[in-house]
Amino acid sequence: MKPRFIHTYVSVDCVVFGFDDDGLNILLVRRDENNQKDLKLPGSLIYDEEDVDDAANRVLFELTGIKKMTLRQFRCFASPDRASKSEDIKWLDKEYQPNINRLITVAYLSLCKIDRKLNNVSKYKQTEWCPLREIPKMPFDHNQIVKESLNEIRRWIEHDPSMVFELLPNKFTISQLHRLYEAIYEKDIDIRNFHKKVTAMPYVVRLEEIQKNVSHRAARFYKFDKKAHNKYKANM
């Protein structure tokens, strides 16, 4: 007997990281406005004639209003039973169409400035930043996807350290950058050595502006200079 080949729907799911003073957060969407707990990763089935990268860009655009977000595909999740829980099947029936018997997904990682105003004309009526340590139980295998995304963000930043600036405001203090690195690598980093390292980066430029109304010595702001970074990379 000839084996039966899978014929299936395909979705994308996006893990969008944001950073605030308390650490890393992930952008989740609420399916049911009346259920405070019902959060999941933003995602969508992909259309006919649509590449997965385009689908991820579409989801992120609807979510944030940003046309071309920095994103990175990191894994296809295709376990046959990833969409086999009855409540997940029910939701697929309602949201998309009945009889979706299997669904494989391609997971994307993206980075977003957390202070950016999010789009609210999208199909996602409610979105929220959820601290990484407080991610609730989510449908499908979304918890596993988030877990793997953490390894992936480290790999990504090791490969291209300039990615971290996607997570910071345009003007940031060295202390913020320091906390961000500590959050990503989950370890303490000596602030004095960190200072030295950052100020040695030709693409992190010192601004004249300093903090105001803080009850301690005001910190200086810095910005990331993309052109200087390109020049720097070219010399590597």
Partner DNA sequence: TCAAAAGTGTTCGATATACACCCATGC
Partner DNA sequence: GCATGGGTGTATATCGAACACTTTTGA
Residues that bind its own copies (CB under 8 A): 3-10, 45-53, 73, 75-76, 78-80, 96-97, 102, 104, 106, 155, 159
CB 109 within 8 A of CB 69: no
Residue 80: which of its own copies, DNA, none does it interact with, CB under 5 to 8 A by kind? Answer: its own copies
Per CB under 7 A, 216 contacts DNA: yes
Residue 37: which of its own copies, DNA, none does it interact with, CB under 5 to 8 A by kind? Answer: none
Q: Give CA–CA dist 142/174, Å, rounded.
A: 33
Query: Cβ closer to its own copies: 8 or 119?
Result: 8
CB of 150 to its own copies, least distance (A): 15
Number of Cβ within 10 Å of residue 194's Cβ equals 16
Q: Give CA–CA dist 236/37, Å, rounded.
A: 48
CB of 157 to its own copies, least distance (A): 13
Q: Quote the tokens at residue 121.
A: 């004309």
Of 37-45, 126-134, 140-148, 217-225, the window that binds DNA (rule: CB under 7 A) is 217-225
Q: Quote the tokens at residue 74.
A: 């990191």
Residues in the interface with DNA (CB under 7 A) total 21
* Residue 165, C-beta contacts closer than 8 angstroms, at least 6 positions apart: 224
Residue 210: which of its own copies, DNA, none does it interact with, CB under 5 to 8 A by kind? Answer: DNA
CB of 70 to its own copies, least distance (A): 17
Q: Give CA–CA dist 208/192, Å, rounded.
A: 21
Query: Cβ closer to its own copies: 81 or 188?
Result: 81
Of residues 114, 150, 119, 138, the one with CA closest to residue 30: 138
Number of Cβ within 10 Å of residue 97's Cβ equals 10
Sheet with 220-224: list strands edge to edge.
172-173, 220-224, 204-210
CB of 219 to DNA, least distance (A): 4
Q: If you compute the radius of gyration of the chain from its CA atoms, what whole number of angstroms results?
A: 20
CB of 191 to its own copies, least distance (A): 24
Sketch the per residue contact string, 164 through 203, with DNA: x for CB under 7 A, - otherwise: ---------xxx--------------xxxx-xxx-x----
Query: Cβ closer to its own copies: 79 or 230?
Result: 79
Which of 87, 217, 235, 236 is in the footprint of DNA by CB under 7 A? 217
Query: Cβ closer to DNA: 76 or 210?
Result: 210
Of residues 221, 127, 163, the one with CA closest to residue 19: 163
